[in-house]
Amino acid sequence: MPEVPRNVIPVYAADGAPRGYRSIEAAQRLVQGGFVTAAFGRKGHLKAIFMLREDGANPVEAHLRVGTSLVIYHDSPLLVNGRA
């Protein structure tokens, strides 16, 4: 894995795909202009920036998607009171 210089901030698309790096100054200008959403570390340092969605919505979902299916991978059939 290539080393990333300490003076750059990673840029991610709204879906989380990596899009490259920006200098700290350029990243701060994008955040102040409202073009991206910032992710800060626990000490308040800028860690990453995320591009906004095309409709201007927040790129990070606040809630999990509903309706994910439960898949059970097992060879034995299920019984009324548990597995066989």
Number of folded domains that form the chain: 1
pLDDT in tens, 1-39: 567 677 899 999 988 889 999 999 999 999 999 999 899
Tell me, what's the pLDDT at 16?
Answer: 84
Tell me, what's the pLDDT at 24?
Answer: 93
* Residue 80 belongs to some domain of the structure: no
What is the value of pTM for the model shown? 0.63
Q: In what order do the strands lie in the sheet with 18-23?
A: 18-23, 8-12, 46-51, 36-40
Contact 50, 12 (CB under 8 A): yes
Give CA–CA dist 66/53, Å, rounded: 20
Tell me, what's the pLDDT at 67?
Answer: 61
* Residue 29 belongs to some domain of the structure: yes
* Residue 24 belongs to some domain of the structure: yes
Average pLDDT over residues 64-75: 59
What phi and psi values does residue 32 have, to the nearest 5 degrees? -65, -35
* Residue 64 belongs to some domain of the structure: no
**Which residues constitute the domain of residue 23?**
1-54
Above pLDDT 90, what percent of the chain? 37
